[in-house]
Structures are given as C-alpha cells and as structure tokens.
C-alpha cells in the first residue's frame, strides 16, 4: 500500500516540465501545420514544376517556361512565364497539393499570386477547385493586367469535402504572363490568421497545455551538411524572401529519397515564437553550433570561422527580446509583434558530441552569457544514454557548469520501465535535465514497423512518473516526433497522426496530456509504507504532486501488470481533504492496441467523480492502466 507525505515537499515543479518538440519531419510543417495548400508555390523545388501539371494547347502555341533571376533575387530566383496564344484554348496548370488538397464543403479559400503581364495586356485567370476526380467544385476568376509585379487575390468556396482536391489555373488572353508565389489557404486557419496554421492540429497542441515549444528540431537544425542547416534569418520577413530549401527528411519511411519534401519556411521563427505565445508555452529555439549532422557527414566549421553562427544566436535573442529600435527588434515589429517574445532559453546544437562539440559549446556559452547573462543555455549530450560519447559530453558539460543538458531516449518499452528510477540518484550538483526527445519504440529505433501502441504509451507513463518525482533536476521534457502525415512520413512512432482533413491523438498523446494538464506545482513523496519510491515493485509506478492553484493533491499511478490491483493510499501530514475529487483512467487490456483515423478514441481517458472518506483511500488500479487521482484539499 502507498503512503503520501503530503507535507513533505520534495521539489518545485517547473512550469516547463511538460512541453512539445516540433520538427518539420513527416510533413509536419509544409503539408502539415502550415495551412498552405499549394505545393512548390514559387517553383523552387529541384524540378521547377514538381507538383504542377501543365496542359498545353495542341500545337504548343501556348507554353510555360521557368525563368531564373538569381542575380537579382537570390532568395526567390524562379518564376513561371506563360506565353499565351489567344486563338487557342486556355493554358492550364494544375497543382496537386501535398498529397492532395483537403477541401471542406462550404469553406472559403483565399487564393493569391504575384503576376505581371506583358505591357499590361490583360490575361483572364480562371481559378477552379477540383475534386479528386477532376470535377469543378468551386470557381472564380481574376483579371491580371499589371505590367509590374503585383499581388492579386481572390476567394472561392468549395461545394464538397474531399481530402484529395486540386487547384486548376487556366490562363486566357493574348499576352505573356509571369507568375510566382501561387498560394491558397483555407479561411479557417488558427486564429483566422493569413499565412496561418491548420486549426485542428494546433488545437491538439493547445489541448496539451504545453509548458514550452521546442523548435525547429531535431536533426533539421544541423542539416545533412552545413549548407542545409536551419538558418533562422532566412525564415523571417516577407514570404518571398524566405529561401526554399530541401528538407533534411526528404526520404520515404524506408529511407529512399522522395524528391518532393522542401521547406518553404512559411512557418519560420516569427511564426514559431507567435505559436509559443498562443500556446502560453516558453519558446525554446535550438540553433546550429557549426556542426552538421554527425550521423551523416559530420561537417564542421573551423573554430576560427564560428563567428557568424554565434552572431546568429545573439541576433536571435535580439529578434525575440530586443527593443524595437534595434535592427532585429525592428524586424519583429514590422512583422506585427512590437512587444518582445520574452525568450528565456536557447539551445546550442542538437545531438552533438565529442571534443568538437564541447569546444564549440564553450565559445557559444561565453558569447551568449557575456551579452545576455539571463538567457538559459540548453546544451546537448551525445545521441543516447549509455553510449561512450554521451558519457563524455555529460562529464565535460558538468565540468563547465552547463545549466541544462538535452537527453534523448528512443528505446524499447522495457527500457522505459527499467529507467523510471533514472534520476533518483542523479548528481544534484550537475546540470538540470531536458528530456528533449523520447518515445518508446515497439520494434526498434526508427523502424517503419513501430506502432503507437498502448504498451509503448504505458511504459512512457511509468518513466514519466520518474521524471516527475525528480522535478528538482528534470526541468523540461517532450515526446518526439510530434506529428506525422499518414501518407508522407519518415519516422514512427509519432504523437499525432493526420491526413489532409483529419487527425487523431495516439495513446501516447493522452499520456502526455494527463501529465501535462495535471502538472501541479510541487512534488511530494509517494512510497510504500517504507517510503521507498514506487518504481516497479509489483509492477506499479507512482508520483504525487500538490497543485497549489487548484488546492489539490494529484496522484499518478501506473499498473503495468496484467492484473487489476486494489491499493490503499494513506495520506500523512496535516493536509485535510474535502472528501471529493476525481479519478481518470487510461487503459487497455491489450498492449498492442492503437488509435486510428477510424477509431481515434479506441484508447482515451475517462473521468469519474470520486468521494474519498478520511485519509485512507482505496483505489482500484486496472490491469495495464494509468490512473490519475485528484483529491480536493481543504
Ligand atoms: O525525432 C526524430 C529525430 O531523432 C530528431 O530529428 C533527432 O534529434 C533524433 O535523432
């Protein structure tokens, strides 16, 4: 039976304890949260017309060419030029979207493009929404008649719901028309913002009540080679000025290249900061430290050429927090956010290790702390615990008084159960922990056969009781990856799966949500009668927190055994209960069970009000379950 020492506060829980990790992997940004429906809108993919299908007139009198003005515009060099012959039928271009376009019946779509016509000779543009079987399900038209580049906009409505819609553009006239930045957004974006995000997906993030948002990754920070690392300065300002780049995850799930996974950076650093603010989550950007992905080339910037990388970090802090009179603060204002974003954390490198990382980290840390002593630096340890490189980095960072280290665990469910006590004896004088990426792997790390099954989710819950019990050292944690498009993923398992119209939460999501929305403010002791922490005895795992805001005691108990259990929980200390509260259970008798588009609530939490008499509570813990007990205090 359990004893809870309600007066014995072991640790304060950081508001950042449970957060989210966002990376543009599995089409999470373009084709995912970024609501843009047009793929390759500025013709910058390797194959300039990828995503577009042209229909020429029979004698080729009307045709398209792709122009490159790179000496004038290196960020957005290409545009399409369409030469029209009025005598012939219209020239049409159809965009396929990101594995189709999700269209919704009755919803309006905002179309725009930049265009100019030869000497202003008018061109009529017919804009049509097509269903998957090429029926016209929405239409409007525009007159393009400007001799200079101009933005033209139109709105059209879909008469059907179709996950595989398309956009057809037909050009008519006797002229030559140049087009670029062809774009279409649904009108129901998150907070109805233009250039906005998919509301259903962002709502799922908001429902997690995350303490922080880590962005933009992940390996994407590093790049396969330095040239394709994530450079935040190229992701802010006008959309046209954000240079499109091949995505580091441009592969199929079996690692074959896909050739069509690019980053438009329509979701860039401004949008990430804005999203953090919307979610009331601390922004946590991670920057390149001058090392490309060590799993790939391992390209390094020589130490004497590190300055631009460090300057990027310093300028980012100015972009987020600087006064509007500073150059980067001014840009933030011009982008619509004069108030600072109140950045508190910055990450230096992702999954990097060895002496090369340590010597680069030192230079970053010195420069950042000299200018911004209040900013907390997150450093990486090697890729995974129990590797030599991990131990080396951890030791060195300890010597350097690093503030927070980012540890990643992609392990099997057994590892998560066995490591629920990982931080119980952790050196309290060392850096704090950011458990920055973790997910139980049902088959093997990054195996395409991994499933978001209940066994994995339950083992993560057991592990998370250990994170929570050690909230004095674990200050942040996040599951990874966050999103996956059902028809375009490179990595599984993932927290939220989506297609062009729908999404579903995995059992792992519900585990995260139960911890995050029941975070509490202070950890108190929960143990067996002997006060030993509950880390696997009788296949049970447990943690207890006080929630000062709601005046509650909250217990989280995992029963990882195949048998139901009934346990007594004795509350010790002066705390008095009202006798009321609730019990929430997340469970499945089958460890292999998953949620799906067809059955999104196969595994989901259920809550019942509960009455507790006195300070000795009897709690039923079903087989294979996570139970959250909330006890209202007087
Ligand atoms: O989450 C997927 C990848 O796993 C991340 O990009 C990387 O940091 C880790 O290796």
Residue 43 inside a domain? The answer is no
Ligand 1 centroid to Cα of residue 618, in Å, is 42
Tell me which DSSP letter residue 198 carries: B
Residue 45 inside a domain? The answer is no
Ligand 1 proximal residues by C-beta, below 6 Å: 23, 25, 217-219, 350-351, 408, 437, 480-481, 491
Ligand 1 centroid to Cα of residue 218, in Å, is 5
For residue 511, is it left (φ>0), alpha (ψ between -120 and 50) or beta? alpha
Are 201 and 335 part of one and the same domain? yes
pLDDT band, very low/low/confident/very high, at 383 (cuts 50, 70, 90): confident
Mean of the pLDDT values across residues 446-454? Answer: 95
Last residue of a domain, one of 144, 166, 186: 186
Asked whether 389 and 353 are in contact (CB, 8 A), the reply is: yes
Mean of the pLDDT values across residues 33-50? Answer: 97
Which atom of ligand 1 is nearest the CA belonging to 220? Answer: 6
Which atom of ligand 1 is nearest the CA belonging to 491? Answer: 2
Model pLDDT for residues 430-445, shown as the tens digit of each residue: 999 999 999 999 999 9
Are 343 and 377 part of one and the same domain? yes
Mean of the pLDDT values across residues 146-166? Answer: 98
Ligand 1 centroid to Cα of residue 404, in Å, is 18
Q: Which of 172, 222, 351, 407 is catalytic?
A: 351
Are 500 and 615 part of one and the same domain? no
Residue 384 is predicted with a pLDDT of 78
Q: Which residue has the CA at smallest separation from atom 9 of ligand 1?
A: 218
Residue 42 inside a domain? The answer is no
Residue 41 inside a domain? The answer is no
Residue 47 inside a domain? The answer is no
Which run of H or of E encompasses 178? Answer: strand 176-186
Measured in whole angstroms, the distance separating CA 448 from the mean position of its chain's CA atoms is: 20
Are 102 and 134 part of one and the same domain? yes
Residue 295 has pLDDT above 80, yes or no: no
Q: Which residue has the CA at smallest separation from atom 1 of ligand 1?
A: 481
State how many domains the chain has. Answer: 3
Ligand 1 centroid to Cα of residue 457, in Å, is 19
Are 202 and 159 part of one and the same domain? no
Ligand 1 centroid to Cα of residue 65, in Å, is 39
User: Residue 542 pairs with which residues in a beta bridge?
Assistant: 557
Residue 597 is predicted with a pLDDT of 98
> Residue 133 belongs to a domain with what CATH number?
2.60.120.260
Residue 46 inside a domain? The answer is no
Are 278 and 247 part of one and the same domain? yes
Dihedral angle at the C-alpha atoms of 532, 537, 538, 541, nearest 10 degrees?
80
Residue 44 inside a domain? The answer is no
The pair phi, psi for residue 483, each rounded to 5°, is: -125, 155
Are 393 and 455 part of one and the same domain? yes
Are 595 and 573 part of one and the same domain? yes
Asked whether 50 and 98 are in contact (CB, 8 A), the reply is: no
Ligand 1 test: best mutation among 24, 25, 218, most atoms within 8 Å of CB? 218
Percent of the chain at pLDDT exceeding 70: 98
To the query of whether residue 351 is one of the catalytic residues in this protein, the response is yes
Q: For residue 633, what are its two tokens?
A: 């205090």
Are 593 and 531 part of one and the same domain? yes
Residue 316 is predicted with a pLDDT of 99
Least reliable range by pLDDT among 64-73, 275-284, 344-353, 528-537 = 528-537
Percent of the chain at pLDDT exceeding 90: 91
> Residue 261 belongs to a domain with what CATH number?
3.20.20.80
Nearest to 276 by CA among 218, 345, 335: 345
Residue 530 is predicted with a pLDDT of 66
The pair phi, psi for residue 340, each rounded to 5°, is: -65, 160
Cα 480 from Cα 99, distance rounded (Å): 23
Are 315 and 421 part of one and the same domain? yes
Q: Which residue has the CA at smallest separation from atom 7 of ligand 1?
A: 218
Are 436 and 542 part of one and the same domain? no
Q: Is 258 exposed, middle or buried (0-12, 13-18, 19+ CB in 10 A)?
A: middle
Whole-complex ipTM: 0.99
Cα 358 from Cα 271, distance rounded (Å): 31
Higher pLDDT, 390 or 201: 201
pLDDT band, very low/low/confident/very high, at 253 (cuts 50, 70, 90): low
Residue 105 inside a domain? The answer is yes
Least reliable range by pLDDT among 268-277, 377-386, 493-502 = 377-386
> Residue 550 belongs to a domain with what CATH number?
2.60.40.1180
Asked whether 2 and 543 are in contact (CB, 8 A), the reply is: no
Residue 59 is predicted with a pLDDT of 73
User: Residue 566 pairs with which residues in a beta bridge?
Assistant: 620
Are 505 and 627 part of one and the same domain? no
Domain span holding position 211? 20-35+190-516
Last residue of a domain, one of 136, 159, 186: 186
List Cα–Cα distances, 632 to 377, 545, 548, 611, in angstroms. Answer: 38, 12, 11, 10
Residue 86 is predicted with a pLDDT of 74
Residue 89 is predicted with a pLDDT of 77
Last residue of a domain, one of 186, 219, 238: 186
List Cα–Cα distances, 509 to 20, 26, 516, in angstroms. Answer: 11, 17, 10
């Amino acid at each position: 039976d359990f004893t809870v020492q309600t007066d014995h506060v072991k640790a304060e829980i950081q508001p950042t304890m449970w957060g989210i990790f966002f990376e543009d992997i599995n089409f999470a940004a373009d084709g995912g949260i970024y609501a843009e429906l047009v793929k390759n809108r500025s013709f910058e993919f390797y194959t300039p017309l990828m995503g577009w299908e042209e229909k020429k007139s029979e004698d080729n009198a009307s045709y398209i060419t792709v122009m490159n003005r790179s000496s004038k515009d290196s960020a957005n060099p290409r545009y399409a030029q369409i030469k029209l012959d009025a005598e012939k039928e219209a020239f049409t271009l159809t965009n396929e979207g990101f594995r189709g376009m999700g269209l919704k019946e009755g919803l309006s779509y905002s179309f725009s493009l930049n265009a100019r016509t030869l000497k202003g000779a008018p061109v009529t543009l017919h804009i049509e929404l097509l269903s998957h079987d090429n029926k016209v399900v929405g239409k409007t038209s525009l007159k393009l008649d400007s001799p200079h580049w101009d933005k033209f906009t139109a709105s059209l409505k879909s008469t059907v719901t179709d996950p595989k819609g398309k956009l057809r553009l037909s050009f008519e006239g006797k002229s030559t028309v140049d087009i670029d930045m062809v774009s279409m957004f649904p009108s129901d974006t998150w907070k109805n913002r233009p250039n906005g995000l998919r509301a259903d997906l962002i709502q799922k993030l908001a429902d997690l009540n995350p303490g922080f948002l880590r962005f933009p990754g992940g390996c994407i920070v590093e790049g396969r080679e330095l040239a394709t690392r994530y450079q935040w300065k190229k992701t802010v300002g006008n959309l046209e000025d954000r240079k499109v780049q091949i995505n580091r995850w441009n592969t199929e799930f079996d690692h074959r290249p896909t050739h069509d996974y690019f980053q438009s950076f329509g979701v860039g650093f401004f949008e990430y900061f804005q999203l953090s603010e919307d979610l009331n989550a601390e922004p946590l950007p991670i920057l390149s430290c001058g090392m490309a992905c060590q799993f790939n080339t391992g390209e390094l910037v020589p130490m004497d050429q590190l300055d631009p990388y460090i300057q990027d970090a310093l300028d980012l802090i100015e972009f987020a927090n600087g006064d509007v009179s500073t150059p980067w603060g001014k840009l933030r204002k011009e982008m619509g956010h004069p108030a600072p974003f109140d950045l508190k954390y910055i990450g230096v490198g992702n999954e990097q290790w060895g002496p090369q990382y340590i010597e680069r980290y030192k230079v970053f840390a010195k420069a950042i702390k000299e200018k911004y002593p209040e900013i907390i630096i997150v450093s990486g340890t090697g890729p995974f615990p129990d590797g030599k490189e991990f131990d080396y980095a951890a030791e060195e960072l300890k010597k350097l008084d690093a503030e927070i280290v980012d540890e990643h665990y992609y392990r099997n469910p057994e590892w998560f159960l066995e490591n629920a006590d990982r931080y119980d004896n952790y050196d309290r004088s060392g850096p704090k922990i950011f458990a920055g990426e973790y997910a139980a792997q049902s088959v093997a790390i990054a195996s395409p056969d991994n499933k978001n099954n209940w066994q994995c989710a339950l083992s993560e819950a057991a592990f998370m009781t250990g994170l929570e019990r050690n909230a004095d050292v674990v200050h942040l944690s996040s599951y990874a990856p966050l999103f996956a498009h059902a028809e375009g993923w490179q990595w599984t398992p993932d927290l939220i799966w989506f297609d062009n119209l729908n999404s579903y939460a995995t059992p792992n999501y519900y585990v995260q949500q139960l911890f995050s929305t029941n975070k509490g403010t202070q950890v108190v002791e929960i143990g067996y009668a002997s006060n030993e922490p509950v880390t696997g005895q009788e296949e049970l795992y447990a943690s207890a927190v006080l929630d000062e805001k709601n005046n509650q005691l909250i217990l989280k108990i995992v029963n990882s055994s195949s048998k139901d259990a009934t346990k007594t929980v004795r509350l010790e200390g002066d705390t008095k209960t009202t006798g009321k509260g609730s019990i929430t259970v997340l469970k499945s008798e089958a460890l292999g069970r998953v949620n799906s588009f067809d059955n999104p609530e196969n595994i989901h939490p259920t809550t019942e009000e509960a009455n507790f008499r006195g300070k000795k509570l009897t709690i039923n813990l079903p087989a294979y379950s996570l139970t959250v007990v909330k006890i209202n205090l007087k």
